[in-house]
Structure 1
């Protein structure tokens, strides 16, 4: 019943609280030690908690214990271990694992000092008892995790301790441990697969840091096991890890021996490596991908050895390479169960496994690119000659291998294509086969996608053999590509088609109008009310619009013809936009409003995307398209006054304006005041934050051309910012606080752009009251807000203002403002207790105010020194000798001297 559940929860909570008390109490661990040694409790969770309390004591408070108490913990663990030998039922796995962790913690704490016989004591207790062996192996894995786990970040002190522990183990007990592993394998190889696997896992973990010669016998026993238990997948997965670890460790040894010129030992090691190659190949080709994946590291490293011996042992190596190539090609193949329409975890794992195989293929290419090319060519040609009667996975992998050659072959793939057919390379022949075989019509998505990926990757083939472009274009445009039954294929093809057209824009001229006609239906804006399911998503349509723009802009047509084509492309968008905007203004239902707003946003986005086709060589003006985009602006801007779905619509129009500022140059300027006015109405922090970069872009690009506009909208923009920043918010509302911080940064970035673009007069020409308010906000940003990014920006602004206004031409009263506020700002922030002079960002921040001081000194000279020496610094209770040092450093001609002195000054001057 519910009441019983509540009672259980209450009891569990009380139990947890009790054990937490035991952890922190002085003698709680002794209660737990006694409970474990005397087997007082049968409840699994209580036993687990007892181990947790001991773990806490060893980890955090062990040094506080007396010698007798430490001895008690050692005896408790050994007593508990002895009891397990007699226990008819083994403990639950989670208890055994926790016990192993506690043993391992005690090991790293005591092995070097008080318990050098740690492993011998454990081995004398467990002998070959199966429950004891299980615990012994778990303890060994826990010890390895403490010493060498690469996922754990160790302090330098822990790293030194771990090195010393491993060195001592190698000296004192590793031979005995290896002997115990050998005995375990011999005892349980036929009767207990789980213990055998555990033992192999231990060997695989330790093999990276113990003497390999010790485990030669072990490997022989392991190889025997391999042939006896070839059907045991769990065993083979661990066994392959062991062989991989041994192989890689041997190769590391071989590399070191070769470098030290110990050729005799290197040769012996090489023989030991080669003795495992046949086994490596068997594991690599295994039908289980986990087993195969575990051995790839060994195979990859071994290929590096083959590369070094290629010239001397070419005939011996040739057959080995072929065997590895065949294994890789076979393992790249999808299996029947792969779910292409709904890829899950298994599919993701296979994709990662394929990436590992690709690395092997790349390494094979480094050893012998000719051999790899010949092998791929043979598989590719054989498969494509009869693709209609071949299973999809074999066709896909044949094309995939051709695709992978692009990165595997050491020469850039472009160099493999020649306009001279007599010099055509193997790669060129394979590409010709690919595009003429008809394989693009294969009825499986994996083959279709691989076909399109490959033709796009080898686009240089089409520059030397352009006669094949029409065939590929048709494949993109018909049921094989953009009109395929699979949404996944249509989506990927939309992206690949845009890449294909972009890369071959010079070869596209004969096909431009035909392609534009054929993609017309794919460009249609899908309105929300008719329920029509478009072939492409709006994201996919972006690529098609960009492709259409690229075809028009890069064509060899006249400006007039380009204008006609661009107008044909964009007019339907503008007409649909007007209709949808009217519908939105009248829409009552929230869902319908959102759907219409999304559609409007897509229309603006599509128009924006077409403009990506223009460049410095092909500007909007040169292509005769200015008028079309100005019409778009006139069409889209009225949406800014729509009171519904403001955030969505403003975002789209703002993005379009960003693009037009780049593309239309000064022609966009007449639209900016009206657009800004609309975007400043009913603003939230996020709206302003996204609007300010637009103004920054205009200011930085057009500079004095926009001075009158900036003059006019400066204070309205600032009032909108101040109003949002001053709005009260909940004390713990982190999101609102972050939004305000980001808006404050955007505000200061705007002021930095204005002053940095040579338009400080925009600030200076405001009312005196407003100028003062702006200056005070900059001072506030420099001193009061604990935000190093904003502070640095504020000091950059201040230094610019001092540079521009610090002389006689500055606004009335600015010199006084410098004395009263800017100079104190340069001192107050670094002198705060919260100011961390060790922080890297802080050092940058301190550097930024050096400019302020230097400029101030440059303009004010002796007057500045007098003010600092006689008035300001004494008011901060800075010692006279420190004041003198500061003023002397400021007058040094070398800025580095002053910069180095500053940190010392602030450390000494802090109260």
Structure 2
């Protein structure tokens, strides 16, 4: 039978097995697991003198584990006491045979030792302390096996692995357990503390003493340190923190092979929760400033990280001790003195060239800054020691946010750069915290870095990028009330410094270096600080020239170019009143980019349900910002009416021609349809810019957009079956309404009719929102009333039909139905609030009015959404009043 089990397991695990035979083998293995006596056969298989393959023996222990877990959980048919005694004797017999110094067989592989430790731990949970009170005594005996105490290396390894597994089962705080299991574990831990803990702690110390100096002792000492580090979280700390114990662990710090494990153990010891006074005494006893100062960290990156983690743990605890007492006390004073000795180490690790090492001390840095902010709120002045620490920390942070020599800029496309930028973002938060604590220190330090970077002799892009980054951080800080004062002399000084730095930037030649990162930073800063140009309007032409050059919107770097399109638009929008007579020049400079060339992706080619996704949408969306910017430039007050009309035609006429040409191409070709979509979107975006420019709309301008509306309707008539054309048409008309006013109503009537006949259920939401905008814009005008009167019944019939279809349990469909209800109720509310309720009871729509009332009552009473209930109740009340008046 054992041979059959071995064969089945090997077939089940083999990647070359016949699928049918493999399935049979897996079924056989499952039968073994589920059978009442399967554990007996598997235990025998595991212990057999003839060792089976590791995979088979692992499976055998899994079956035994399942039987033990059933006894623990009380599920299935649990093991009886006789069976438990049999398992205990079998396991002890196996260990005595295989883990004695005289064993002639090779030691079990590590994974098998871990599995055996897990099995023994499960048995331990069932038997300690009641039926096997001598558990730890027996294991310690096995660790000697007739030789000197704790001399059996093979037995010690298993013993320590069992202790690790026990901690994971009864004390690991990362594992979520039921209340029943938690109570069981508490009983076990209490029993260990009372019965065996002193003996175990003494054994651990003896293991460290005996095995640290042995050539073959590395793994045993490392395992022992790991056990101490994990168990110390729930045992009496006084068993470990003794002069003798600590002397041994500190001595191991000098062992190059074991010092990392010793460092981890010290971190765990210090992390143990205890009273503040006890924690201070513990840290003082360890004399860590001297110990850490003597460590030869050198080029061992992994060990350096561990020491940084240790420093972080200690500093965190010291800061928390200080924070517990708001007022001066001997403990707080002594704690701060110790912290001032240790914090330079934290700052040193913060400056480390490896970000992983720096990140280890981030929690301590954050906690210390948080403490200083609280102290400031308590009106506690910065003493010289704290001021010195803060200055050193800020200087280190500034150096740390600089790109190092091994890294180049990739605009977020390189993983290592992304990791650096993530760290930089966290460092930026530390800078903001420093600013909140000592604004003068922050202002002086940052301004010095920025000025030196912009004017220094070094022309390395990293130095300049650092200056521009810090300038951006400074300007952002001014907008953050938590970072810098927002009023009074401090704010005035801060703004003065910012303006000086910006003036320095615009007068510098940093762009001559030609690095894309510098160019992007420069343009971002210009847009973020557009108010600067209110007092320096003479610089605007210079900035515009930069934007339209190959530094900005004509950059050879596609990522920079597309981002510059948006930034150019933002600058134009924010500084449009400063354009003066240079608007036309700027428009001429971007004319070559106002070209639409749609590119269809292979997945959309020939697809009747084509969408804009997966095409050139990213680049095209960016190009739309140029159309909006051109609309603003054309419509600033300084542009004469005749010139405005000429410039407007120069933008719209090529689009009209392109739409006409695209419509003449074969309908089965996807590219013309996407081209027309882009053309319509460009018209709508351009219209938004025209409306935003500030210049009064003239009749010739309206005439051009009336032509645009008709061109869109012609395209919609031909391509109304495509959702992207319907969406684009609705978008463009919504943006032309402010320009054309009531003149667009006839065209809107045609648009609405065509949209309603073709719109999908998902489009109804946006469609009703569009109608709501029209109702608001044209309330009281006869044209909108006539249009709504004709539209209402077919529209509401579509809505009721869509809502009558069950969601089939799909979350997306349920969300869509909820959104349709909200859109419907918003539409009804718009009718009522804008005085258009007459359309509900007109001769054309009277027949559907009762359905409207019932639907509102139904959605209000059945919807779990509070916003729908509230809005529906208000609408229903008003509809009831209308019914009574009929």
TM-score (norm 2): 0.74
CA distance in 1, matches of 2:581, 2:490: 22
- 2:407 is equivalent to residue 337 of structure 1: yes
Taking only aligned residues, the RMSD between alpha carbons, in angstroms, comes to 5.2
Look up the match of 2:341.
275
Q: Could you tell which deviates more after superposition, 648-657 or 124-133? A: 124-133
Instruction: Give, in whole Å, the separation in 1 of the partners of 2:734 and 2:186.
Output: 58
* 8 A Cα contact 1:689 1:742, kept in partner: yes
| Aligned-residue offset at 1:99 | 6.0
Change (3 A) 1:733 1:113: same
Q: Measure the CA separation in 2 of the matches of 1:238 and 1:785.
A: 56
2:54 to 34, 37, 42: 42
Q: What is the distance in 1 between the residues matched to 2:617 and 2:817?
A: 42
Shift of 1:512: 1.2
Contact 1:526 1:534 in 2 (8 A): no
Which of 839, 842, 864 pairs up with 1:762? 839
Question: In 2, Cα distance between the equivalents of 1:76 and 1:338?
Answer: 64
Quick one: distance in 1 between partners of 2:90 and 2:621?
Answer: 63
Is 2:624 the counterpart of 1:542? Answer: yes
Equivalence for 2:301: 233
Provide the C-alpha distance between the structure 1 equivalents of 2:135 and 2:576, rounded to a whole number of angstroms: 73
Structure 1 residue 776, shift from structure 2 partner: 5.7
| 3-state secondary structure, aligned to 1:210 | coil
Aligned residue runs from structure 1 range 663-678, under 5 A: 664-678=740-754
For residues 604-628 of structure 1, the C-alpha deviation after alignment (integer angstroms, 9 at most, x for no partner) is 2222223444679948647974333
**Residue in structure 2 matched with residue 367 of structure 1 by the alignment:** 437
For the Cα contact (< 8 Å) 1:184–1:196, is it kept in 2? no
Contact 2:772 2:830 in 1 (8 A): yes
Residue of structure 2 equivalent to 1:245 = 313
Matches within 5 A, 1:435-514: 435-514=506-585
Matching residue within 551, 555, 571 for 2:653: 571
Q: 1:570 to 1:250 in 2, by over 3 A?
A: same
What does residue 367 of structure 2 align with? 301
User: 2:140 and 2:23 mapped to 1: Cα distance?
Assistant: 39
Task: Give yes or no for contact 1:400–1:450 (8 Å, CA) kept in 2.
Answer: yes
- 2:397·2:431 contact (CA, 8 Å) conserved in 1? yes
Report if aligned partners of 1:580, 1:600 keep a CA contact under 8 Å in 2: yes
1:306-325 matches, within 5 Å, as 308=375, 315-325=384-394
Distance 1:24 1:457 in 2: 68
Give structure 2 stretches of 5+ with no counterpart. 1-10, 144-149, 194-231, 601-614
Alpha-carbon shift at residue 495 of structure 1 (Å):
1.9
Aligned to 2:209: none
Q: Does 1:597 align with 2:673?
A: yes
Aligned to 2:475: 406
Q: Quick one: distance in 2 between partners of 1:144 and 1:544?
A: 64
Map 1:619-768; keep pairs closer than 5 Å.
621=697, 625-643=701-719, 646-661=722-737, 664-705=740-781, 706-721=784-799, 743=820, 746-747=823-824, 750-751=827-828, 753-754=830-831, 757-764=834-841, 765-766=843-844
Alignment TM-score, normalising by the size of structure 1: 0.72
The alpha-carbon deviation at position 649 of structure 1 amounts to 0.7
Q: Could you tell me whether the CA contact under 8 Å between 2:839 and 2:845 is conserved in 1?
A: no
1:588 aligns with 2:601: no
Q: Contact 1:501 / 1:547 at 8 angstroms: preserved in 2? A: yes
**TM-superposition CA deviations, 1:104-141 (whole Å, max 9, x none):** 9988x999999999999988988796845873785488
Contact 1:376–1:402 (CA<8 Å) still a contact in 2?
yes
With over 3 angstroms needed to count, the CA separation of the structure-2 counterparts of 1:18 and 1:534, relative to structure 1, is closer
Is the aligned partner of 1:383 residue 2:465?
A: no
- Residue-by-residue CA offset, 1:143-192 (whole Å, 9 max, x unaligned): 79842x4xx77889999999999999878433335679958845754667
Cα deviation, residue 22, structure 1: 7.5
Kindly provide the CA deviation profile for residues 23-55 of structure 1, in whole angstroms up to 9, marking residues without a partner as x: 877787788788778898732752684587379
Q: Report the CA distance shift for 1:298/1:304 in structure 2 as closer, same or farther (over 3 A).
A: same
**Whole-angstrom CA distance in 2 between matches of 1:375 and 1:762:** 67
Query: Within 5 A, what are the aligned runs for 1:757-796?
Result: 757-764=834-841, 765-766=843-844, 770-771=848-849, 781=859
SS where residue 680 of structure 1 aligns? helix
Contact 1:100-1:138 within 8 A present in 2 as well? no
Q: 2:273 aligned with 1:210, yes or no?
A: yes
Give the corresponding residue for 1:800.
878
Gap runs ≥5 in structure 1? 811-911
Tell me, in whole angstroms, the C-alpha distance in 2 between the residues paired with 1:98 and 1:766. 83
Instruction: Report deviation, 1:675.
Output: 0.7
Question: Deviations along 1:775-817, whole A, 9 cap, x unmatched?
Answer: 5655665678998887776655544322321x3x33xxxxxxx
**Aligned residues, how many?**
788
CA contact (8 A) 1:32 1:50 kept: yes
Measured in 2, the distance between the counterparts of 1:347 and 1:77 equals 56
**Residue 487 (structure 1) shift:** 0.9
SS in 1 for 2:295: helix
In structure 2, what is the Cα distance between the partners aligned to 1:69 and 1:222? 58
